[in-house]
Amino acid sequence: MLGTRVVEFAQPRMINVKKCLHSVIQSKLFSLSHVVEKRKRLNDTKGREEFDLRAKRLQRPEGPGWSTGDQLQRKKAREIQQLGRAGHWQEALEVFSTVQEPDLILHVAVIDACAKSWRLRTAQQLFSAMPRKTTPAYTTLIALLGRMRRAGEAQELFEEMGRQQVSPDAATFSALMIAYGSAHDTEAAVKVLDAMAAAGFPLGAVEFGCAMRACGKAGDADRSVQLLARMEQEKVEPNLAHLTSAIVSCARGKDSARGRAAFDEIRRRGPRPGQEG
């Protein structure tokens, strides 16, 4: 009996609460729908602008073999990249040969596949056959020449970019620094770092790391310490990789005092998440 009275007493209030909640929810949904619709219109406009921009970049004159479209080229490029990572450069060439009019991205993909397998001559032949040389293509060859310790040829290719009015990017400068590092030419590596800064590229941990590794390979303790000081001046925090390069350069240069100082700095810092290299 008491339970029935409680229910009868509470029922009108529950109905009022439900009506209130329903009103609040409807109001929130109405506001949310306006926000969603506004964002949708903005996204649609932005999407159309991005699509138009991509379309302009991908516009090419019609020709034999182009009827398959750009989608096939991208599919072939991904296939070539996978083969390149697996070291199957010959299979990558076979896939490349099936496309009647390969675009520039496809050319870069097959050059990179050959570069990953150290096939310099083949990569150079493919590069020469490109209808227009691109920054990624130059960078790929410069990186390969660097790994092969042919810094002089890498420098020549870099200078050719200037003559052909092809602008290097940050990866190009880094590849050239690594090339000089492999040749133990720290002076040239630091000059590339300076040229990169002069060209307006920001110098960060990666760029200083390339120059520091060059010092480590050559045992150039003086330049290694100078680079650390420059990093501090430019507010770039050295990580474990930079300090390790400094230690290696000091060890190879038989500079035990500065080597111990770099080692003490590592111990002082201790392990930090995301600071391993």
36 vs 264: which has the higher pLDDT: 264
* Phi, psi dihedrals of residue 165, rounded to the nearest 5°: 60, 40
- Band (pLDDT 50/70/90 cuts) for residue 270 is low
- Is 27's pLDDT higher than 80? no
Residue 18 pLDDT more than 50? no
The residue that leads in pLDDT, 203 or 28, is 203
The helix/strand/coil state of 1 is coil
Q: Is the pLDDT of residue 211 over 60?
A: yes
The Cα 182–Cα 191 span in angstroms is 15
For 18-40, the DSSP string reads: HHHHHHHHHHHHHHHHHHHHHHH
Higher pLDDT, 272 or 125: 125
Report the percent of the chain where pLDDT is more than 90. Answer: 60
- 188 pLDDT above the threshold of 70: yes
| Range among 117-121, 239-243, 255-259 with highest mean pLDDT value | 117-121
Is the pLDDT score of 273 beyond 50? no
75-86 pLDDT per residue, tens:
999 999 999 999
Q: What is the pLDDT of residues 51-77, one digit of tens each?
A: 343 333 333 433 443 444 688 899 999
Q: Which residue has better confidence, 255 or 208?
A: 208
* Average model confidence (pLDDT) across the chain: 79
Is the pLDDT at 88 greater than 60? The verdict is: yes
Residues above pLDDT 70, as percent of the chain: 71
- Identify the CA nearest to 223 among candidates 200, 253, 183: 253
Return the exposure string of 39-69: e unless at least 16 CB atoms fall within 10 Å of the residue's CB, then b: eeeeeeeeeeeeeeeeeeeeeeeeeeeeeee
**Can you give the pLDDT at residue 14?**
43
> What's the CA dihedral at 129, 132, 133, 136 to 10 degrees?
-110
